[in-house]
Amino acid sequence: MSDVITNDARSSEAMSREIGQKLERLRLSRNITQSQLAADAGISERTLRRLESGDNPTLDSLIRVLIALKIQRNIDLLVPDSRIRPIERVRTKGSERQRSRSAKTTKRTKQWEWGTKG
């Protein structure tokens, strides 16, 4: 399975399996047993096995394992901080957005044609 997640429409199940496989490879490369990691993360071995197999892991379990592996800072790669966008700060004059709204529709004027007035 590819280490790069592309923009194609991949299922959440496939992505869960890939994340689980990466966690398993990382655990094995550090020579950590499932029982050791589960204990460090405060989850059961069964939960860790389910996480590594991509079998519907919970967000809490994933975060606990990331913390136990000391890679929790990598979550910023998954969900980047949207506040760090210099162009947005210039556009909004330094203030942060508090709400979102739907795009405004602009009133279209009739295009000028030959032989018509106005």
- Cβ neighbors of 50 (< 8 A, separation 6 or more) are 56, 57
In a domain, 91, yes or no: no
The pLDDT value given to residue 5: 47
In a domain, 86, yes or no: no
Confidence of residue 24 (pLDDT cuts 50, 70, 90): very high
In a domain, 71, yes or no: yes
Mean pLDDT, residues 71-99 taken together: 69
User: Per residue in 10-22, is it b (16+ CB within 10 Å) or e — as a string?
Assistant: eeeeeebbbbbee
Number of domains in the chain: 1
Chain segment 31-55, per-residue pLDDT in tens: 999 999 999 999 999 999 999 999 9
In a domain, 117, yes or no: no
Range(s) of the domain holding residue 16 = 12-78
DSSP state of 3: S
CATH of the domain at 69: 1.10.260.40
In a domain, 87, yes or no: no
In a domain, 35, yes or no: yes
- Cβ neighbors of 27 (< 8 A, separation 6 or more) are 34, 37, 52, 69
The pLDDT value given to residue 73: 82
pTM of the model: 0.61
